[in-house]
Amino acid sequence: YHGYWPVERYGVERRFGGEQALRDLVNSVHREDMKILADLVLKHVHVENPIRSERPDLFGQLELADGTRNLRRWNDNPFTTWFEPFLPAFDFRNPESIEFLLEDAVYWIGEYGLDGYRLDAVKHIRPDFWWRFRSRMRDEFPGVDQYFVGETFQNREGIADFIGPNMLDGQFDFPLYDVLIECFAKGTVGFGELEAALSESEQVYGRSVRMSPLVGNHDKSRFMAYADGDLPDVDEPDDEEVGWAKRLTVDSDASYAKLKLAMTFILTIDGVPMIYYGDEIGMTGAGDPDNRRMMRFGEEVSGAENRVKEHFSTLAHTRRAHTSLTLGSRRTLEAEGSRFAYVRRYGDDVALVLFNQSDSAAEFSYSITPELGDGALRDVLSGNEIEVQGGQVDVLLEPMQSAVYVLN
């Protein structure tokens, strides 16, 4: 049901419309001046894939010399382990296996005009493969703007091992995500901890890469399930059981407010924000497969959900229009408890971002002289306007609200 167990090398799912439907989708996206990535699985195939029987030499061995199985050995044998007995893992020490997979990667971009890949299970593929991968992409598509983002559930240092000018452009920032859930969804840590996590990400990854901050992912329970208090701790293993035991619904309007704050955060920091489908309307769900419910549209979307979508859309358009939010410097003005404020600047473009996570109105007063001396700022979320005089800003922010002030 998820497509991560490939059974054909070059086939396109016929129930989705086949090859022509994919071409039409790519063309439609490009006409809207957008980019489209595909999810590429290079670690393994399903045992029923013909290549398994046609080229068994391309795969590693499940049975080891000591009589044990090389199965789910995530840390002992990260580059050779099989995920499941029915998922033969490629042997990345074999040059023919590497060439086979590089041909696959080239094919989908060349044949359908894709703009890059989300790459699965990055840490379970040898780093030297990713060097060859990036080199081949440059050779095959010189001068073409592409984006390659990886998935690695690991600490920052482990994630950083696979990114850089000659490897991947970035990866999903799961260490930051974990603190984001604790701060915005569960309220168990304050903004001081979130600022520390963000600063650590900025320091470890650097600014030459394009990491991907996120509020949701297909391997994680939904943000709204945490916000509603339906789930145990982030690291607990029984989220899937919750989904089977009961049908989760959003029970508290306050959970939508929490999601809006999280959206403001990831859309005003560095990187390429990743919005998992349904998060833009606040869908809920426990662990896989409950977090992969069918998307809802039109009249199936409630008023509260539509307001989340409007919030997200406003932020996305603002981010695209203001370079300060994508490439600008970031200076933290305050990060403690329920209060968070930072200012971003790129050239003459300035943005002031504020968060009030408390249950009462809060006054924010700062000097932003290094970024702006005098001028008018407008909050894109509320429409409120303020005057900056001598670099001084004073703002009153309502409970559980965020603000993104840009030059008016």
Q: Tell me: the pLDDT tens digits for 229-247?
A: 998 654 555 788 888 888 9
Locus of tokens 């990713």: 130
Mean pLDDT of 263-292: 97
Q: Nearest-CA neighbor of 274 among 361, 150, 359, 386?
A: 150
Residue 282: band (very low, low, confident or very high) from pLDDT cuts 50, 70, 90: very high
The tens digit of pLDDT for each residue in 9-55 reads: 999 999 999 999 999 999 999 999 999 999 999 999 999 999 999 99
Is residue 9 situated within a structural domain?
no
Judge whether residue 398 has pLDDT over 60.
yes
Q: Which single residue is written with the structure tokens 């690695």?
A: 152
Give the CATH number, domain containing residue 365.
Answer: 2.60.40.1180
Question: Is 399:358 a contact under the CB 8 Å cutoff?
Answer: yes
The answer to whether residue 1 sits within a structural domain is no
Share of the chain above pLDDT 90, in %: 94
pLDDT at 6: 87
Q: What is the mean pLDDT of the chain?
A: 96
Last residue of a domain, one of 304, 324, 344: 324
Q: What is the DSSP string of 190-203?
A: -HHHHHHHHHHHHH
Q: Same domain for 216 and 87? A: yes
Structural element, H or E, at residue 343 = strand 339-346
Looking at residue 239, what is its pLDDT?
Answer: 84
Q: What single string gives the DSSP state of each residue in 59-114?
A: B--SB-TTS-B-BS-TTTSTTT-BSSTTSPBB-TT-HHHHHHHHHHHHHHHHHH--
pLDDT band at 193 (very low <50, low <70, confident <90, very high): very high
List pLDDT tens digits, range 126-164. Answer: 999 999 999 999 999 999 999 999 999 999 999 999 999
CATH of the domain at 183: 3.20.20.80
The crossing angle, in degrees rounded to 10, of helices 127-140 and 95-112 is 40
Q: Is the residue at 379 inside a domain?
A: yes
pLDDT at 2: 74
Residues 6+ away with beta carbon under 8 Å from 30: 36, 113
Q: Is the dihedral angle over the CA atoms 405, 304, 266, 167 positive or is it negative?
A: negative
- Are residue 287 and residue 341 in the same domain, yes or no? no
Residues 300, 283 share a domain: yes
Helices (H), ranges, 236-362: 239-245, 253-266, 303-321
In a domain, 74, yes or no: yes
Give the model's pLDDT for residue 336.
97
pLDDT of residue 246: 87
Residue 357: which domain range? 325-407
| Nearest C-alpha neighbor of 331 from the set 357, 315, 314, 350 | 350
Domain limit, last residue, from 324, 353, 373: 324
What is the reported pLDDT for 233? 56
Tens-digit pLDDT profile for residues 246-277: 899 999 999 999 999 999 999 999 999 999 99
Cα–Cα distance measured from residue 207 to residue 107, given in angstroms and rounded to the nearest whole number: 31
Number of domains in the chain: 2
The answer to whether residue 137 sits within a structural domain is yes
Query: Are 192 and 331 in a shared domain?
Result: no
d(CA 272, CA 221): 21
Residue 221 inside a domain? The answer is yes
Q: Percentage of residues in the chain with pLDDT exceeding 70?
A: 98
86 and 199: one domain?
yes
Classify residue 2: in a domain, yes or no: no
361-378 tens-digit pLDDT = 999 999 999 999 999 999
Please check whether residues 160 and 256 belong to one and the same domain.
yes
Same domain, 235 and 356: no
Give this prediction's pTM.
0.95
Which DSSP category does 181 fall into? I
Give me the pLDDT at residue 238, please. Answer: 79
Q: Do 334 and 310 have their domain in common?
A: no
Query: Tokens 């984001």 identify what position?
Result: 180
Q: Does residue 3 sit within a domain? A: no
Q: Is the same domain home to 269 and 259?
A: yes
- Indicate the residue among 324, 343, 373 that finishes a domain: 324
Whether residues 248 and 162 share a domain: the answer is yes
Determine the longest span between alpha carbons in the chain, in angstroms. 75
- Residues 33 and 182 reside in one and the same domain: yes
**Do 332 and 306 share a structural domain?**
no
